[in-house]
Amino acid sequence: MQLVGIEMLNIFGGSAYLDVDQLASHRGLDKTRFDNLLMKEKSVALPYEDPVSLGVNAAKPIIDALSDSEKDRIEMLITCTESSFDFGKSMSSYMHDYLGLNRNCRLFEIKSACYSGTTGLQVGINFVLSQVSPGAKALVIATDISRFLVAEGGGVLSEGWSFAEPSSGAGAAAMLVSDRPYIFQMDVGANGYYGFEVMDTCRPVADSEAGDSDLSLLSYLDCLQQSFSEYQKRVPDANYLESFSYLAFHTPFGGMIKGAHRTMMRKMLKAKADVIESDFEERVFPGLIYCQRVGNIMGATTALSLVSTIEHGEFYSPKRIGCFSYGSGCCSEFFSGVVTAESQEYLKQFNIADKLNQRYSLSMDEYDALIKESTTVRFGTRNVKLDTGFLEGARNSSDMPRLFLKEIKEYHRLYEWSQ
């Protein structure tokens, strides 16, 4: 069997974050049972951070770890996003430039709400499996932000949507897909996918979102059950409890995953509450740790949960991780792969926890000022020079070189490295 999977994987969780509990109080949200939602922090995009800068910052350490000849084998650069600033031009063209990749490379972008990162990953996997260009690699960059301006007015679609603000983050995941699956060896053909039309959450206007959070939760749960059932058809001996040492879920917020896991344990195994609780702590919680710090980064969240699982799990012997991805609208997929002790060790080179710790802590006043300042880069902005002095503490929060948006000149985005 041809080996395939993720050779390298890195997360960039932004430069600044906000305490979510503080935000909920500030917005006057009903905090009854708020703790059950299992939210802690969310990364917030600075005005001079956009999906391109976040994506490049996630991918750069991977590119730097490759030799020139290895780098030249990247023949596909896929951006996966719901936050692009152009309907035509792919953000992968910018990233290709700032990462200095070989020009004999396919550059394109995928949209499929929060399912986009998994879509890109599967395209990369199948490109490698096809062996049309033996030894070639695909760089998949899932990158999303939420500049928080809720679509105003309306009924069902915005009611209850206020909780989206504390849960929505900003960040990117870069995955190098190849025939050397050092981080995550994909189980080839073990994929259960399931999709149908539903109007749960969407981005029908620029710089804003709308959604029916209850419907989205219901749809997520339907999809989890259905995609796992399809996975079982393709992997007949698969068992929700025994086949996977860990589970990495697309995580809009932690409490939702706890509920989803509880449903699966009850439906599939008729498990009792105490068994479900301890199983959640053991197999699911490791994947939530980073998600609780960064928030929902949409297309990149499943990868974020996977990284969190690898860093916080125990891999003395190779272990299988079950992954579930869901994108509103909707499409979903349950897939799996194997992680080893070497994978865990190899991932350490990216110091993901250190970088999350280095993020700047925003006060509420700074956050409100940031939202106001972000209107300078609204969708469709033709010309603007970014104020590099804005929240300088956040800009200088890390010791690693980072890419920031410098200027928009006749719609063309120009970036600069921080060091």
Partner 1 sequence: MINRGELILEKKNVFLIVKDVISEVLPDVDSNGVKIEQNLKSLGANSIDRTEIVMLSMERLGIKLPLVSFGGVENIEEMVDVLVDNT
Which residues have a catalytic role annotated? 82, 114, 250
Are 107 and 92 a contacting pair, CB within 8 Å?
yes
Instruction: Give the separation between CA 353 and CA 302, rounded to whole angstroms.
Output: 17
Strands (E), 207-343: 210-211, 246-249, 319-327, 331-339
- Within 20-39, the residues that bind partner 1 by CB under 8 A are 32-34, 36-37
Q: How far is the CB of 406 from partner 1 (least distance, A)?
A: 40
Residue 19: phi, psi to the nearest 5?
-75, 120
Instruction: Give the separation between CA 116 and CA 114, rounded to whole angstroms.
Output: 5
Residue 165, interface with partner 1 (CB under 8 A)? Answer: no
> Of the candidates 214, 282, 354, 399, which one interacts with partner 1 according to CB under 8 A?
214
Q: What are the structure tokens assigned to 261, written together?
A: 């896991």
Residue 229, interface with partner 1 (CB under 8 A)? Answer: no
Q: How far is the CB of 251 from partner 1 (least distance, A)?
A: 13
> Of the candidates 258, 261, 395, 402, which one interacts with partner 1 according to CB under 8 A?
258
C-beta of 32 vs 317, nearer to partner 1:
32
> Of the candidates 3, 97, 130, 156, which one interacts with partner 1 according to CB under 8 A?
156
Residue 219, interface with partner 1 (CB under 8 A)? Answer: yes
> Of the candidates 93, 162, 208, 263, which one interacts with partner 1 according to CB under 8 A?
263
- Within 179-198, the residues that bind partner 1 by CB under 8 A are 198
Residue 331: phi, psi to the nearest 5?
-150, 150
Are 311 and 347 a contacting pair, CB within 8 Å?
yes
Instruction: Give the separation between CA 398 and CA 381, rounded to whole angstroms.
Output: 28
Are 15 and 48 a contacting pair, CB within 8 Å?
no
Choices 67-75, 211-219, 355-363, 375-383; region in contact with partner 1 by CB under 8 A: 211-219
Are 328 and 113 a contacting pair, CB within 8 Å?
yes
Q: How far is the CB of 114 from partner 1 (least distance, A)?
A: 17
Binding residues for partner 1, rule: CB under 8 A, are: 32-34, 36-37, 156, 160, 163, 198, 200, 212-215, 217-219, 221-222, 255-256, 258-259, 262-263, 266
